[in-house]
Amino acid sequence: MSKKFVQAITAIDEDFAQWYTDVVKKAELVDYSSVKGCMIVRPYGYAIWENIQSYLDKKFKETGHENVYMPMLIPESLLQREKDHVEGFAPEVAWVTHGGNEKLAERLVVRPTSETLFCDHYSKIVQSYNDLPKKYNQWCSVVRWEKTTRPFLRTTEFLWQEGHTVHATAEEAQEETLLMLDTYAKMCEEFLAIPVIKGQKTEKEKFSGAHSTYTIESLMHDGKALQSGTSHNFGTGFAKAFDIKFADKDSEMKYAHQTSWGVTTRLIGAIIMVHGDSSGLVLPPKVAPTQVVIIPIAAHKEGVIEKANELQARLATVARVKCDTSDKTPGWKFSEYEMKGIPVRVEIGPKDIENHQAVLVRRDTREKIVVSLDELEIKVAELLEDIQRHLYEKALAKREAMTYTAKTMDELKENAQNRPGFTKAMWCMNQACEDKIKEEVGFTSRCMPFAQEEISQTCVCCGEKAKTMVYWAKAY
Amino acid sequence: MSKKFVQAITAIDEDFAQWYTDVVKKAELVDYSSVKGCMIVRPYGYAIWENIQSYLDKKFKETGHENVYMPMLIPESLLQREKDHVEGFAPEVAWVTHGGNEKLAERLVVRPTSETLFCDHYSKIVQSYNDLPKKYNQWCSVVRWEKTTRPFLRTTEFLWQEGHTVHATAEEAQEETLLMLDTYAKMCEEFLAIPVIKGQKTEKEKFSGAHSTYTIESLMHDGKALQSGTSHNFGTGFAKAFDIKFADKDSEMKYAHQTSWGVTTRLIGAIIMVHGDSSGLVLPPKVAPTQVVIIPIAAHKEGVIEKANELQARLATVARVKCDTSDKTPGWKFSEYEMKGIPVRVEIGPKDIENHQAVLVRRDTREKIVVSLDELEIKVAELLEDIQRHLYEKALAKREAMTYTAKTMDELKENAQNRPGFTKAMWCMNQACEDKIKEEVGFTSRCMPFAQEEISQTCVCCGEKAKTMVYWAKAY
C-alpha cells in the first residue's frame, strides 16, 4: 500500500514540471480555485507560510520596522504618478470599474504592489528629519494578471510582505536596502536550508521605478534559477514623483530616500523544488509545521497506543509533534507523511516497547536509527538539527556542482543546452549583449554577485572589456 | 503645552462623532487614503489589531481550527450560486471587469465575504464522514461598497477573519456556532474589557443565506449599539447550493452542515467608543501595544535618563514598556501618551530618585500613586490588572445604567428620544412590527438575548402575545 501511494506521483527526474504539480496537490499544499490563475492555499501550505511569516515578522520588528495596512485598491491617477512604475505594472493589473451598481468616475487597480500608496501617505506624514526614518511593512496579497500560472511560482494573486521605508540620507537608505537583503538571505539559508547568491540586478532586470535592485537567487533541482527575494533602493525617484520632502537639521528642504523589499509565497515553491524527491515534499525541520510524526505499529496490541501517546507528550517538549492513531495501515501512514515531508518519523510497536526503544526514520536520507527510550528527546532534537544542516549542505553541494563558467558564446550555449544550472560569465554591462544572450542562449542575467570572480577579461558576448561577472541561468 | 495638545480634540460630550474622528486621527490609528472610503491603518492602529489577531488565532487553533487562504476574486457565476446570499451582497460589491489590457469573459467581484469560495472548495475535498469536520479560518480584507464611511466602523475595505466550518450533523454545527460566539464574547469581555449581550438575530437581521445568526452586541458611550461579532449556522442551505455531500457511517449520502463567523477591525472602533474620553483613547492593558510609558522629569539632570532606562529594563519583565527620552517637554509627552491611551505612565525625576520612588499615573482614573522603587514591578503589574478590571466594570455599570425597558410604543419612542442606550421590550416575532419600530421609533432589533426576561406579556408594538424579549437600540 505504501508503494501504491508513492507511485501516484511522477518521478522527479522523469518530468519535473509534472512532479511539481503532483507534489503541491498530493501534499495538500494548494488546490485550484474557480478563478483562473488563483490558488487556494490549504492548511498545510498556509502553515508553512505562517512559519515564514513568524520568522520574518520577528526580524522586521527587531530591526525597528512596524506593520501597517494600506488599501488594496489604487486610483489610476495615483498609479500613474511615477512614470517607470506605471509602465512596468499597468499591463498586468486587474481593473475595478464598477462599485455596487454604479460605474466609477475613476478606475481603480487591485494593488500589484503598494509603492504609490505608501508614497502618497509618506508625503503627508513626513515633514521633518525628526519624522525619519519611517520603516513600515505590510503583509497582504497582490494581484498581477498572468497568462500562464503555476502554484506558488507564478499566480495571478499571491501572498507576500512588502517593506517600504523612508530615510534622510542616501547612505541610510542603502544600508537599509542591504540589511533587508541580508535578512532574506539568512532566512533562506538558516531557516529554509536554501543557499542563495546575493547580488545586484542589471538595469534591464531591476524593479520598475527603482534606482537599484538587489536580489537573492537560488537554484532548483532542475537547474533553473528562482529569484527568491528582492530589495530595492529607490534613491529619490519616488520622493520626487510624490513630493516627499523634509526639513533637514540644516533647515533645508530635501527629498527623502526610499527603499522597498519583499518576499512571497514563491518561497514555498523554492522549498519544494530544492529539497523534494520522488516520494514528495522534504521539509527542513525549522519551517516544518509538524517536525515529528509518531506512528504506532500493531496498534491493536495492548499498550501500543498508550505508549505512542506518551512519546508524543514527551517529544512535545522538544519539537512540533503529531501522533497518528487513526486506523490507516502503518504503510499508508509512512507514505502519507513522506509525501508531506515530515522530517522525522518515530515508529513504536510491541517489540520496541519490550526492548525499551523506538525507531527513528529520517525523511531526508531514509536512514533508520534505533534509540533507547531514555534518550528519545535528546536524540530527536539532535536529529532535527542534523537534518536541517544536512539539507542545507546537500543543496549547497548540488548548486556548486551545477555552477559552470563560460568565456565565449559557444561555451554559454553549450552550458544552456547540456548543463542545467548557473553559468558564471563576464559582461560588458551593455544591454545589447544581455538581450542577445537571452535571445540566442535562453539565459537571463540573474545577478551581478557581491562575490565577484574574474572568469575572463572580456565580455562573454561581444568580446569587449568586461566590467562585471554575472550569474546567468534559465529561470522561473 | 499639555493643555493645548489636549484641547486640540473635541470634548466627548460636545460632539461625539467629531470626537471620534479627532481621536482616530490624533492617536495616529488611521489616516485617510486617496481611495474614497478606504482607510490606512497606521502602525499604532495595526498593533492593536495584531494583538486581537494573536489572541483569537491562538483560541482558534486551540479549538482545532486551521488557517487557509482563498482567492480575493470571485467569479460572478459562483457568487450567484446561493440565491439569498447573492441578493444580500451583489448590490455592494466592487467589480473587476478587465485584466491587463483585456476585457474579462466573466466579471469578478472583489470578495465581500468568502462563503462561495469555501463552499466550492469543500464540495471538492469533502467525500466521507472521515473528512469531517473541516474547520478553516482566514485572515484577510474584504470590500463592500459603502456610501457613507467612518474609520473602523464602516469602510469600503476592512480587515477581518472569517471562519468557515463543515460538520456531519446539525448538532455539531450548532455547537460550533455557539462555541465561536462564546470565543468572541470572552475576547470582548476579558481582553477588550467590553461587556456584550449574546443573542440571536431576527430573521430580518440575519446574514444573507444563513439559517440562523448569533451576535454579540455592545453599547457605545453615546448610547448606540455596535454589532461586535457574528456567528452563523447555515444548516444545509449552502451545502445544497454547492453540493457538499458526504458518505456517512451508515453509507448514506448526506448534505453537510456549515457555519461561518467573523469579527473585524470594527472592534477597534468599539474600544475607542467604549473606553475613550476627552483626552483621547483609553486602552485596556491586555490589548495595549504599549502598556507602560516611562517619562523622565528634568531629564537634563544627572542620572535621570540612566534611571529611566534602568526602570524600563526592569519593567520589561512584567509589561510592554517604552521609555521616552526625546527632547519634548514632559507636559507634551503626558498629553501625547494620554491621547494614545497608554494605561500607565511612570514619572521619574531627581526628587523621586532621591526618595527611591517613582510616580505611577493611571490613564483611566488619572490617579497618582507614589511607589517605592523596590516594589516597582509588582505594583505596575497589579495596577495593570486593576485597570483592566476597572475598565470592564465601568463599562458594564454604564451599560446597565443605559439599559431601559418599554411596554408600549410610547415608552419605546420616549426612550429613543430621551434615553440613549438599549431598550428591552417584548416582541411577537412578526416582521411587520419590527419594520414599524424601525420606521416610527428609529430602533433596530439588536438581538433576542439568550438571557431572556419577561418585561410584559404582549408585543410592544401590536399588543399581541409576545414570543421573545428583544434588545432594541439605535446602532452603528
- Does residue A392 lie in a domain region? no
Q: With an 8 Å Cβ cutoff, are B92 and A100 in contact?
A: yes
- B187 and B91 within one domain: yes
Which chain B residues have a beta carbon less than 8 Å from that of A31? 121, 124-125
Q: With an 8 Å Cβ cutoff, are B68 and A43 in contact?
A: yes
Nearest chain A alpha carbon to B106: A35
What integer is the mean pLDDT of A32-47? 94
Nearest chain B alpha carbon to A108: B35
Nearest chain A alpha carbon to B39: A71
- For A113-127, write each residue's pLDDT tens digit: 999 999 999 999 999
Tell me how close the Cα of B44 comes to any Cα of chain A, in angstroms: 8
- A253 and A344 within one domain: no
Determine if residue A235 is left, alpha or beta; phi over 0 gives left, psi from -120 to 50 gives alpha, anything else beta. Answer: left
- A44 and A169 within one domain: yes
Which chain A residues have a beta carbon less than 8 Å from that of B99? 93-95, 145, 156
Residue labelled with grid coordinates 502519507: A336
Percent of chain A at pLDDT above 70? 99
Sorted by sequence, the CB contacts under 8 Å of residue A147 that are 6+ apart come out as none
- Does residue B396 lie in a domain region? no
pLDDT-derived band at A71 (thresholds 50, 70, 90) equals very high
Which chain A residues have a beta carbon less than 8 Å from that of B110? 72-73, 96, 110
Distance CA A58, CA B345 (A): 27
Tell me the CA distances in angstroms from A297 to A213, A357, A380, B100, B464, one per residue in order.
54, 13, 19, 55, 68
- B129 and B70 within one domain: yes
- Residues in B 36-55 with any Cβ partner in A closer than 8 A: 38-43, 46-47, 49-50
Of A31, A67, A73, the CB nearest to B35: A73
Mean of all residue pLDDT scores within chain A: 96
- B36 and B9 within one domain: yes
pLDDT score of A6: 47
- Does residue B310 lie in a domain region? yes
Q: Which of B242, B378, B353, B342 is nearest to B303 (CA)?
A: B353
For the domain that residue B359 is a member of, what is the CATH number?
A: 3.40.50.800
- Does residue B134 lie in a domain region? yes
Kindly give the confidence (pLDDT) of every residue in chain B, 476 residues in length, as a single tens digit, with 9 standing for 90 and above. Answer: 344 454 589 999 999 999 999 999 999 999 999 888 999 999 999 999 999 999 999 999 999 999 999 999 999 999 998 888 888 888 899 999 999 889 999 999 999 999 999 999 999 999 999 999 999 999 999 999 988 899 999 999 999 999 999 999 999 999 999 999 999 999 999 999 999 999 999 999 999 889 999 999 999 999 999 999 999 999 999 999 999 999 999 999 999 999 999 999 999 999 999 999 999 999 999 999 999 999 999 999 999 999 999 999 999 999 999 999 998 999 999 999 999 999 999 999 999 999 999 999 999 999 999 999 999 999 999 999 999 999 999 999 999 999 999 999 999 999 999 999 999 999 999 999 999 999 999 999 999 999 999 999 999 999 999 999 999 999 99
Sorted by sequence, the CB contacts under 8 Å of residue A17 that are 6+ apart come out as none
Q: Which of A131, A130, A112, A113 is nearest to A122 (CA)?
A: A131
pLDDT for residue A7 is more than 80? no
Q: With an 8 Å Cβ cutoff, are A41 and B69 in contact?
A: yes
Q: How many domains does chain A have?
A: 3
- A325 and A258 within one domain: no
- Does residue A460 lie in a domain region? yes
- For A367-411, write each residue's pLDDT tens digit: 999 999 999 999 999 999 999 999 999 999 999 999 999 999 999
pLDDT for residue A270 is more than 70? yes
A73–chain B Cβ distance below 8 A for any pair: yes
What integer is the mean pLDDT of A173-198? 98
B73–chain A Cβ distance below 8 A for any pair: yes
- B375 and B306 within one domain: yes
Which chain B residues have a beta carbon less than 8 Å from that of A73? 35, 38, 94, 110, 143, 156-157
DSSP letters for A127-194: -BGGG--EEEEEEEEEE---SS-BTTTB-SEEEEEEEEEEESSHHHHHHHHHHHHHHHHHIIIIIS--
- B107 and B6 within one domain: yes
- For A413-454, write each residue's pLDDT tens digit: 999 999 999 999 999 999 999 999 999 999 999 999 999 999
Tell me how close the Cα of A464 comes to any Cα of chain B, in angstroms: 40
- Does residue B237 lie in a domain region? yes
Q: Cβ distance A265 to A160 under 8 Å?
A: yes
pLDDT score of B2: 42
For the domain that residue B457 is a member of, what is the CATH number?
A: 3.30.110.30
Q: With an 8 Å Cβ cutoff, are A108 and B94 in contact?
A: yes
Q: How many interchain CB pairs under 8 A, A with B?
A: 152
Q: With an 8 Å Cβ cutoff, are A70 and B157 in contact?
A: no
- B311 and B182 within one domain: no
Q: Cβ distance B422 to B219 under 8 Å?
A: yes
Nearest chain A alpha carbon to B47: A67
- B349 and B250 within one domain: no
Of A41, A66, A67, the CB nearest to B68: A41
Sorted by sequence, the CB contacts under 8 Å of residue B310 that are 6+ apart come out as none
- Residue A173 CB burial class (10 angstroms; 0-12, 13-18, ≥19): buried
pLDDT score of B397: 98
pLDDT-derived band at A336 (thresholds 50, 70, 90) equals very high
Q: Cβ distance A87 to B125 under 8 Å?
A: no
pLDDT for residue A40 is more than 80? yes
- Does residue B392 lie in a domain region? no
Q: With an 8 Å Cβ cutoff, are A70 and B40 in contact?
A: yes
Which chain A residues have a beta carbon less than 8 Å from that of B159? 69
A442–chain B Cβ distance below 8 A for any pair: no
For the beta carbon of residue B200, count every other beta carbon within 10 angstroms. Answer: 19
Task: Give the end of a domain, one of B244, B275, B306.
Answer: B275
B101–chain A Cβ distance below 8 A for any pair: yes
Looking only at the bridges linking them, the beta strands covering A253-255 and B66-67 are: unpaired
Q: With an 8 Å Cβ cutoff, are B94 and A96 in contact?
A: yes
Nearest chain A alpha carbon to B105: A36
- B194 and B340 within one domain: no
Tell me how close the Cα of A121 comes to any Cα of chain B, in angstroms: 7
Of all helices (H) and strands (E), which one includes residue B73? Answer: strand B73-75
Q: With an 8 Å Cβ cutoff, are A95 and B96 in contact?
A: yes
> Which range of residues forms the domain containing residue B335?
285-387
Q: Cβ distance B119 to B130 under 8 Å?
A: no
Q: Which of A143, A21, A89 is nearest to B104 (CA)?
A: A143
pLDDT score of B383: 98
Tell me how close the Cα of B358 comes to any Cα of chain A, in angstroms: 29
Q: Which of B232, B163, B161 is nearest to B200 (CA)?
A: B232
Task: Give the end of a domain, one of B361, B387, B413.
Answer: B387
CA B293 to chain centre: 26
Distance CA B283, CA B319 (A): 14
Interface residue of A73, A157, A264 to substitute, partner B, most B CBs within 10 Å? A73
Q: With an 8 Å Cβ cutoff, are B38 and A73 in contact?
A: yes
pLDDT score of B156: 95
- Does residue B372 lie in a domain region? yes
Of A33, A69, A120, the CB nearest to B159: A69
pLDDT-derived band at A279 (thresholds 50, 70, 90) equals very high
- A172 and A97 within one domain: yes
Which chain B residues have a beta carbon less than 8 Å from that of A98? 94-95, 97
Q: Which of B456, B434, B458 is nearest to B447 (CA)?
A: B434
Q: With an 8 Å Cβ cutoff, are B75 and A34 in contact?
A: yes
pLDDT score of B7: 53
- Residues in A 159-188 with any Cβ partner in B closer than 8 A: 159
Instruction: Tell me the backbone φ, ψ of residue A383, rounded to 5 degrees.
Output: -65, -40
Distance CA B35, CA A71 (A): 8
A35–chain B Cβ distance below 8 A for any pair: yes
pLDDT-derived band at A84 (thresholds 50, 70, 90) equals confident
pLDDT score of A85: 82
Task: Give the end of a domain, one of B248, B275, B302.
Answer: B275
- For A126-137, write each residue's pLDDT tens digit: 999 999 999 999
For the domain that residue B49 is a member of, what is the CATH number?
A: 3.30.930.10
